[in-house]
Amino acid sequence: MAEGALSGLRLIEMGQLIAGPFCGQLMGDHGAEVIKIEPPKVGDAMRNWGQGIPLWFSVVARNKKSITLNLREKEGQDIVRKLAAKSDFLLENFRPGTLERWNLGWDDLHAVNEALIMIRVSGYGQTGPYSSRAGYGGIGEAMGGMRYLAGEPDRPPSRAGLSIGDSLAATYACLGALMALNHRHKTGLGQMVDSAIYEAVLANMESTISEYTVTGHIRERTGSILPKIAPSNVYPTIDGSVLVAGNQDSVWKRMSAMMGMAELGDDPRYNSHVARGQRQAELDDLIGEWTRKFTSQQVLDMCEEHGVPAGNMYRAPEMLEDPHFAAREAIIERDHPKHDNFKMQNVAPKLSATPGGVDWVGPELGEHNELVYGELLGMDSGTMSDLEERGII
């Protein structure tokens, strides 16, 4: 494994799809040994997900070791306890109550290993009247308030295009696990991390709750603009569009000069944050009439020259061509057993002393059975063969 800040720590990943496994990806990126448990023969459903050819698993399961294990059988549950006894973290995103039915809940595993940190990701959390409900990322985004604000004001709420709720819950789970690790350094004891998708989304809802309780204001969908923050929008060009953000007073002065309208920098209609916010649509129309005379690159060049924040709308092709992405190695290429030219995003954030890294893409199903069961748990080949024949591993 690449040297990372979490090197020397072991995580058992029992989750599937995104909400749990993305937490495992983050920890594996930074050096933790991640042993992923998958159902025999079928594996994680994420192995079949993706646009066109299913490649998502190769990203979210990178740096992980795959073992197969039937968690519904008592012998499989006994093996989990043996793994938990030798690990620092156990991660799961089953519906709350599932592990308890398998005698693998917090009390059971804490009794096996008091230092174990148990990371639990679910739709609604481990407690409360909704805890036993099935909960996917989209539902958490809706209940947490994000979906209502996504999209254009004259259309129904939209999806962001990515599984934001799942990824947020996994990220908070990782954050909670590292907090618990620091607590363990001081006490020697592990604890349970309870990350709910709807709460992870809610945590990112800025001041929307306060705005309602104090003033009765409910935020609505606003499309591409930030209400009362102007100018900050996507503006048309000859060959497409660019995002320009000149909403700070000093930046607006530079932007108005860039457009050949320096007088607008001091015009009382536009010379303050509040004034520009009150004339947001009017200002966007004025800027759009100017930008449509130039190509996107010309606008970007002028913005850079005048110190005005601006950027293109990137897709994968633009990211791969961008010299800044290349200079920071934001995208990396790794060998893949089935596909050439396999590229993906690199580790984030960047740490100066222990940067972490990606050593391999998502593994084959059960690829590390012999390594984990044989070397870590000390099973002999006969025992492993017997367990395999009976569908335990």
- Tell me which residues are annotated as active site: 166
Spatial contact of 159 and 147, defined as CB atoms under 8 Å apart: yes
User: Is beta strand 240-245 parallel, antiparallel or unpaired with respect to 89-92?
Assistant: unpaired
For CA atoms 310, 316, 318, 324, the dihedral sign is: positive
Burial class (CB within 10 angstroms; exposed 0-12, middle 13-18, buried 19+) of 324: exposed
246 touches 311 (CB < 8 A):
no
Structure tokens at 328: 């920071």
N-term to C-term CA, the chain: 25
Nearest to 224 by CA among 209, 245, 203, 240: 245
CA–CA separation, 12 vs 90, rounded Å?
A: 5
How far apart (Å, rounded) are the C-alpha atoms in residues 376 and 84?
A: 12
- The CA distance from 283 to 270, in Å, is 8
Say if CB 18 and CB 60 are below 8 A apart: yes
Contacts (Cβ under 8 Å, ≥6 apart) of 324: 330
Residue 90, SS3 per DSSP? strand
Handedness of CA 200, 201, 207, 212 (dihedral sign): negative
HSE (side-chain half, CA atoms, 13 Å) at 96 = 21
Closest to 291 measured CA to CA, from 275, 315, 308, 267: 308
